[in-house]
């Protein structure tokens, strides 16, 4: 049954099956390598070795604590442009057939986003201190 | 002979064979590139580089693998084990899986997804995830610093990376890599790097940033945060991260060659090699990889604020402007494009 499914070759779903199987295979390969390295390499644990590296100093703080909110602003901007791309890609594929209508639509869409970018710029959100 | 070939093209065998070939290609690329990197560095700095293992040092990668396998994997005892060990997988996966959709020669592509470009972009973001996993899972100050820098850098340069592909998609009218290559046929003046020159340069720079190469190697920054997100890794876990870095550099080069430099298309039509056109693809990819290495040993590292400014205030506006230019030109001069 599975064999018959695979033999259709170029059909839509099968390609994704390909990609899925390959990803599982890669994951398995890397995991196997890690296990193999664990078996081949010496493993003498000690308290000093288990400490984190901070150029020879003893660690005093836990790095798992709040970090600057700046990153959040950039993540938000990224999200906006990423979603924009999700809309622009299908538009770009059929742009040749859309003609003037497609051009005007895109201009309106991108200008709104550009205004957002300019606003963030002027507000100083893009400034890295 | 024909029977054997037919057997090899029958489905389950073709699947397994192509998977094995891709994995072989990725691992060998990573190995050869570690050697090439050091040789190029050495010749740029008037040294010899590795020249002890094998003839002219060619067996150095093999010796490295043996060494890495027999080195102890030290893990900080405070680290989050599953995230720590999951990071090499999350970094290796995108560097290997995107090769599935890359066309090597006219008929040689493992899975010709009709959304290949989107697939490439989607998997590139997983690389950023792996970087954050490595830095956060180590629970070390330098690691976390490197990971936060890396996260900010990679999501910032993902925006120009995505936008710079719009022009190519508009011109070729398809998201499949095979279609993009086919639409660039007939000599190098048909390749997309000419009409899309600003987009090509933007994609190249964003690609260097996504591969975390100098001048965009702030997440590693060995002179300030001594290795950044991978400071706690050792032995084969470190080796896998390093391998995925080199593999992703080769991948970015291959994608650049495919989308902007015609993939396997020969520069002149009389140089068509038929099924051996993969040679053109290999030459183009190798040249781009060499420019990556050249840049690495010629330029200093950027500062964090320069990095963010360059991405958001120069590359993104350039992409948006050239998007308008391309759209307008296609509308006004439909006969040229």
φ/ψ of B299, rounded to 5, equals: -110, 150
pTM above 0.90, yes or no: no
Residues of A in contact with B138 (CB under 8 A): 52
Is residue B54 in a domain?
Answer: no
- Looking at residue B8, its pLDDT comes to 67
Residue B160, CA distances (Å) to A72, A73, B74, B84, B193 in order: 19, 17, 38, 30, 16
CB contact under 8 A, B11 and A121: no
Mutation target vs B (from A6, A24, A33; most B CBs, 10 A cutoff): A33
CA atoms of B287 and B253, how far apart (whole Å): 9
* pLDDT, tens only, B56-90: 888 888 898 888 888 888 888 888 888 888 899 99
Kindly state whether A67 is in contact with chain B, defined as any CB-CB distance less than 8 angstroms: yes
Yes or no, beta carbons of A41 and B236 under 8 Å apart = yes
- Among A55, A62, A33, residue whose Cα is nearest residue B85: A33
Whether residue B29 contacts residue B250, with contact meaning beta carbons closer than 8 Å, is answered with: yes
pLDDT by residue (tens digit) across B189-211? 888 888 889 999 999 999 999 88
Count of domains for chain B: 1
Q: Which of B43, B143, B25 is nearest to B83 (CA)?
A: B143
Q: What's the confidence (pLDDT) of residue A2?
A: 35
CA distances from A20 to B20, B114, B330 (A): 15, 16, 37
Q: Do A81 and B162 touch (CB under 8 A)?
A: yes
Residues B209-256 pLDDT 10s: 988 888 888 778 777 777 788 888 888 888 898 899 899 999 999 999
User: Residue B158 falls within a domain, yes or no?
Assistant: yes
Q: Is residue B196 a part of any domain in this protein? A: yes
Residue B111 in domain: yes
- CB atoms B119 and A19 under 8 Å: yes
The span from the CA of A55 to the CA of B95, in Å, is 31
* Residues of chain A contacting residue B307, judged by C-beta atoms under 8 Å apart: 128
Query: Which of A30, A79, A90 to probe by mutation at the B interface, max B CB count within 10 Å?
Result: A30
With respect to residue B304, please indicate whether it lies within any of the assigned structural domains.
Answer: yes
Residue of B19, B111, B309 lying closest to A25 (CB–CB): B19
Q: Please list every residue in chain A whose beta carbon sits closer than 8 Å to the beta carbon of residue B156.
A: 74, 78
> In Å, how far from its chain's centre is CA B106?
21
**Could you give the CA distance from residue A22 to residue A27 in angstroms, rounded to a whole number?**
9
Is B107 within the bounds of a domain? yes
Interface contact A34-B226, CB threshold 8 A? no
**How many other CB atoms sit within 10 Å of the CB of residue B96?**
29
For residue A128, the distance in angstroms to the closest alpha carbon of chain B comes to 5
pLDDT classification of A7: cutoffs 50, 70, 90: very low
What confidence score (pLDDT) does residue B290 get? 93
The string of DSSP codes covering B103-152 is --BTTB-S---TTHHHHHHHHHHHHHHHHHHHHHHHT-HHHHHHHHHHHH
In a domain, B179, yes or no: yes
Q: How far, CA to CA in Å, does A63 sit from each of B43, B52, B56?
A: 40, 42, 45
Check: CB of residue A41 under 8 Å from CB of residue B117.
Answer: no
Per-residue pLDDT, averaged over B278-290, amounts to 91
For residue B201, the enclosing domain spans 75-332
Q: Is position B118 within any domain?
A: yes
């Amino acid at each position: 049954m599975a064999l018959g499914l695979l033999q259709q070759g170029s059909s839509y779903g099968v390609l994704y099956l390909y990609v899925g199987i390959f990803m599982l295979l890669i994951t398995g390969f890397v995991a196997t390598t890690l296990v193999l390295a664990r078996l081949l390499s010496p493993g003498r644990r000690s308290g000093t070795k288990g400490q984190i590296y901070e150029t020879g100093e003893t660690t005093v703080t836990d790095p798992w604590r709040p970090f600057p909110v700046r990153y959040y602003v950039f993540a938000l901007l990224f999200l906006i442009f990423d979603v924009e791309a999700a809309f622009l890609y299908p538009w770009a594929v059929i742009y040749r057939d859309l003609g003037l209508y497609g051009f005007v639509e895109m201009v309106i869409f991108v200008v709104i986003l550009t205004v957002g970018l300019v606003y963030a710029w002027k507000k100083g959100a893009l400034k890295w201190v | 002979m024909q029977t054997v070939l037919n057997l090899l093209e029958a489905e389950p065998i073709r699947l397994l064979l192509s998977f094995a070939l891709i994995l072989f290609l990725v691992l060998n690329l990573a190995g050869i590139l570690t050697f090439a990197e050091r040789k190029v560095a050495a010749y740029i700095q008037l040294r010899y580089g590795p020249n002890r293992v094998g003839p002219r040092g060619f067996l150095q990668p093999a010796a490295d693998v043996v060494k890495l396998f027999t080195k102890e994997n030290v893990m900080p005892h405070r680290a989050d084990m599953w995230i720590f060990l999951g990071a090499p997988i999350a970094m290796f996966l995108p560097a290997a899986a995107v090769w599935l959709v890359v066309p090597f020669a006219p008929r040689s592509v493992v899975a010709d997804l009709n959304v290949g470009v989107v697939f490439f972009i989607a998997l590139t973001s997983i690389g950023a995830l792996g970087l954050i996993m490595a830095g956060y899972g180590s629970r070390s100050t330098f690691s976390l610093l490197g990971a936060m820098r890396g996260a900010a850098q990679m999501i910032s340069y993902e925006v120009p990376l995505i936008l710079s592909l719009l022009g190519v998609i508009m011109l070729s009218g398809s998201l499949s890599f095979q279609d993009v290559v086919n639409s660039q046929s007939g000599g190098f003046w048909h390749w997309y790097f000419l009409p899309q020159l600003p987009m090509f340069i933007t994609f190249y720079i964003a690609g260097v940033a996504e591969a975390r190469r100098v001048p965009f190697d702030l997440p590693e920054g060995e002179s300030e945060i001594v290795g950044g997100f991978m400071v706690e890794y050792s032995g084969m876990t470190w080796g896998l991260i390093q391998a995925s870095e080199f593999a992703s550099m080769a991948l970015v080069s291959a994608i650049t060659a495919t989308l902007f430099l015609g993939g396997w298309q020969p520069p002149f039509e009389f140089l068509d090699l038929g099924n051996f056109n993969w040679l053109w693809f290999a030459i183009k990819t190798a040249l781009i990889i060499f420019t990556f290495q050249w840049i690495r040993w010629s330029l200093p590292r950027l500062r964090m604020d320069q990095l963010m400014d360059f991405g958001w205030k120069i590359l993104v506006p350039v992409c948006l402007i050239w998007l308008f230019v391309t759209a307008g030109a296609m509308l006004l001069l439909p006969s040229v494009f």
